[in-house]
Amino acid sequence: MTAIDENPLVKGLERLPVGPTTMTIFGATGDLARRKLLPALYNLAHEGALPEVFNLIGVSRGDEDSEQFRAWAREAIIEFSRRTPDPRVLDALLGGVRYIAGTFDDPETYRKLGEELAAFDAISDDPLNRLFYLSTAPQFFPVIIEAIGEAGLNTHDDCEVRVVIEKPFGTNGEEARELNRRVLSVFDEHQVFRIDHYLGKETVQNVMAFRFANGLFEPLWNRNYIDRVEITAAEEVGIGTRAGYYDQAGALRDLVQNHMLQLLCLLAMEPPVTFSADEVRDEKVKVLRAVQPPPPEATVRAQYTAGTVGGEEVKGYLEEDGVPPDSQTETYAALRLEIDNWRWNGVPFYLRTGKALARKVTEIAVILKPVPHLAFQEEGSIGVRPNQLVLTMQPNEGVSLSLGAKIPGTRMRIRPVQMEFLYGTAFMSQSPEAYERLITDAMRGDATLFTRNDEVEAQWRVIDPLLSAWAEGKPELDTYPAGSQGPSTASRIMEPGDEWRAI
Ligand code: BG6
């Protein structure tokens, strides 16, 4: 098989084979398992996309038995699946589910796990691939990995053993390096799948399809024609019940270090020779190496105060349950980044993200330079705007290009019009959830949509200096009312004449 045959990005919509697997979820009764992982497994089962032999073992501290866990998993799937479950598919999936109650640092937990894994092998008369999914609080990642190693579960005959590690991968560069060291003392890099769920989104992968399957854009994709790039990941929701995690993390760690830097990489990277995992990731690492950590004055940090989101009154961040009243944690972050390489030198990349903003939108806007000369009469020129190409990841997934067009009539007057491609209309099918794609890829051993060890460290290299500056209060923490466009100071980091698109 050639790399192109193997690669999902160039394969269209068909399904690829996945070897028989027993998957183990650590933290199986947690929120991520309930809302995302179990529903994703159901939808894969529904589409016949799970391997013919598929078993699931849940490991968690709760002292349920397998029967109780299956009942809980059924509820979770019914509540959160994107399609109404078919009882026969659900029963078949849950038939292969077992539960182990135990703490993550107790060797006994891994002895029982070894027994269950062996029992599943015995039932199918063959050793099965193993996928360990770490969906726990991050302090358990190294504990679980090392215990798996000590129990000898990190290799298995000729089968594949793989481990998926959830975010956050460290809370700074030093922690990430240490975690990499501990993970790689038990597993080889090709067995390790660090999740960034944005890469599992169809519309995020479309950035690559769009750039590398169309000759139209490549000649323009550089400093000569692109004036600036704006990447936005705005959310309507506040922090909900996640104060414990969020107040320690903040917007910079929660969304910028991972998801937003990934979007930047996909937009800015050079075309890989093939879409193999290492070649794509090599190109992303090169982009990250060329990004200079921004000085504090090229950044904005802010916190939401009480306001109105979608007609509902919302508390301010400091009033949220579990948030210390003097918290300095940012719920909004904006950065001006530069990429010091031949293609992008001098083009500002503006990134912003925030909770409790006017609406949910994730988009990349590429704003082209203005035309060099306007030959229309003064009045005709008024509506002429530089072309904007907007890739929208969510909601209203699609791509739109603004063009200047003549307003019908005897006079030459121009106004922008939109050329739009909408995912829903063009493909008439519901996109799978990010986790469906990522779980399948991990079972297949395709790491293209996962973060490599050097990549995650390169992301922290950009963010680390900001963590220190922000901890010293540079720049000062601003505020914004919930439901707004963000702090009024957000354009302070922009070059003269640039402005944020409306959220
Ligand atoms: C997660 C963050 O990684 O991404 C959350 O921890 C955030 O704070 C979420 O809400 C956003 O993901 P999505 O898929 O809803 O855009």
Q: Give the pLDDT confidence of 286-322 residue by residue, as tens digits.
A: 999 999 999 999 999 999 999 999 889 999 999 999 9
Instruction: Give the torsion sign (CA, 114, 119, 122, 127).
Output: negative
Q: Quick check: is 156 catalytic?
A: no
- Report yes or no: 223 and 339 within 8 Å, Cβ to Cβ: no
pLDDT for the residue 332: 98
pLDDT for the residue 3: 41
Confidence of residue 8 (pLDDT cuts 50, 70, 90): very low
Span 22-44, average pLDDT: 96
What does the alpha-carbon distance between residue 177 and residue 454 come to, in Å, rounded to a whole number?
9
Lowest-confidence segment of 68-82, 274-288, 367-381, 459-473 by average pLDDT: 367-381
Does residue 203 or residue 352 have the better pLDDT?
Answer: 352
Span 88-97, average pLDDT: 95
Pocket-testing residue among 135, 254, 260, 353, ligand 1, by greatest number of atoms within 8 A of Cβ: 254
Distance of CA 235 to the CA centre of its chain: 14
pLDDT for the residue 240: 87
Span 348-358, average pLDDT: 98
Residue 428 has pLDDT above 80, yes or no: no
What does the alpha-carbon distance between residue 28 and residue 30 come to, in Å, rounded to a whole number?
6
Residue 466 has pLDDT above 50, yes or no: yes
Does residue 157 or residue 35 have the better pLDDT?
Answer: 35
Identify each DSSP E strand in 306-413 by its residue range.
307-309, 312-314, 332-337, 349-354, 361-368, 388-394, 398-406
pLDDT for the residue 5: 47
In the chain, what percentage of residues exceed pLDDT 70?
A: 97
Q: What single string gives the DSSP state of each residue in 112-159?
A: HHHHHHHHHHHHHTS--EEEEEE-S-TTHHHHHHHHHHHTTTT-BTTB
Angle at 62 between CA 59 and CA 67, to 5 degrees: 75
pLDDT in tens, 444-462: 999 999 999 999 999 999 9
Residue 441 has pLDDT above 90, yes or no: yes
Span 50-72, average pLDDT: 94
Span 241-253, average pLDDT: 93
Instruction: Find out whether the beta carbon of 196 lies less than 6 Å from any atom of ligand 1.
Output: no
Tokens linked to 430: 């519901």
Peptide bond into 372 cis (omega under 30): no
Quote the ligand 1 centre to 199 CA distance (angstroms).
Answer: 12
Residue 368 has pLDDT above 80, yes or no: yes
Confidence of residue 11 (pLDDT cuts 50, 70, 90): very low
Residue 503 has pLDDT above 90, yes or no: yes
Residue 357 has pLDDT above 90, yes or no: yes
Instruction: Find out whether the beta carbon of 397 lies less than 6 Å from any atom of ligand 1.
Output: no
In the chain, what percentage of residues exceed pLDDT 90?
A: 85
- Report yes or no: 198 and 280 within 8 Å, Cβ to Cβ: no
The residue whose CA is least distant from atom 10 of ligand 1 is 235
pLDDT for the residue 481: 98
The residue whose CA is least distant from atom 8 of ligand 1 is 254
Among 253-267, 390-404, 406-420, top mean pLDDT goes to 253-267
pLDDT for the residue 16: 60
State which H helix or E strand residue 97 sits in.
strand 97-101
Pocket-testing residue among 35, 36, 197, ligand 1, by greatest number of atoms within 8 A of Cβ: 197
Residue 383 has pLDDT above 90, yes or no: no
Quote the ligand 1 centre to 135 CA distance (angstroms).
Answer: 15
Identify each DSSP E strand in 195-347 by its residue range.
226-234, 299-305, 307-309, 312-314, 332-337
The one-character DSSP state at 484 is B
pLDDT in tens, 135-186: 999 999 999 999 999 999 999 988 999 999 999 999 999 999 999 999 999 9
Mean pLDDT score of the chain: 93
Amino acid at 432: P
Confidence of residue 401 (pLDDT cuts 50, 70, 90): very high
Q: Which atom of ligand 1 is nearest to the CA of 393?
A: 16
Say whether 20 sits in a helix, a strand or coil. Answer: coil
pLDDT for the residue 382: 80
Residue 14 has pLDDT above 50, yes or no: no
Distance of CA 206 to the CA centre of its chain: 14
Q: pTM of the prediction? A: 0.93
Quote the ligand 1 centre to 452 CA distance (angstroms).
Answer: 20
Span 407-423, average pLDDT: 90
pLDDT for the residue 261: 98
Burial 452-481 (b: 16+ CB within 10 A, else e): bbbbbbbbbebbbebbebbeeeebebbbbb
pLDDT for the residue 56: 98
Residue 242 has pLDDT above 50, yes or no: yes
Which is catalytic among the residues 46, 156, 197, 259?
Answer: 259
Q: Which atom of ligand 1 is nearest to the CA of 258?
A: 3
For 19, phi and psi rounded to 5 degrees?
Answer: -70, 155
Instruction: Find out whether the beta carbon of 254 lies less than 6 Å from any atom of ligand 1.
Output: yes
414, β-bridge pairs? 406
pLDDT for the residue 381: 78
Burial 201-227 (b: 16+ CB within 10 A, else e): bbbbbbbbebbbeeeeeeeebeeeebb
Q: Which atom of ligand 1 is nearest to the CA of 167?
A: 3
- Give the contacts of 253 (CB within 8 A, at least 6 positions apart): 168, 171, 463, 467
pLDDT for the residue 15: 52
- Give the contacts of 295 (CB within 8 A, at least 6 positions apart): none
pLDDT for the residue 7: 47
Pocket-testing residue among 169, 259, 363, ligand 1, by greatest number of atoms within 8 A of Cβ: 259
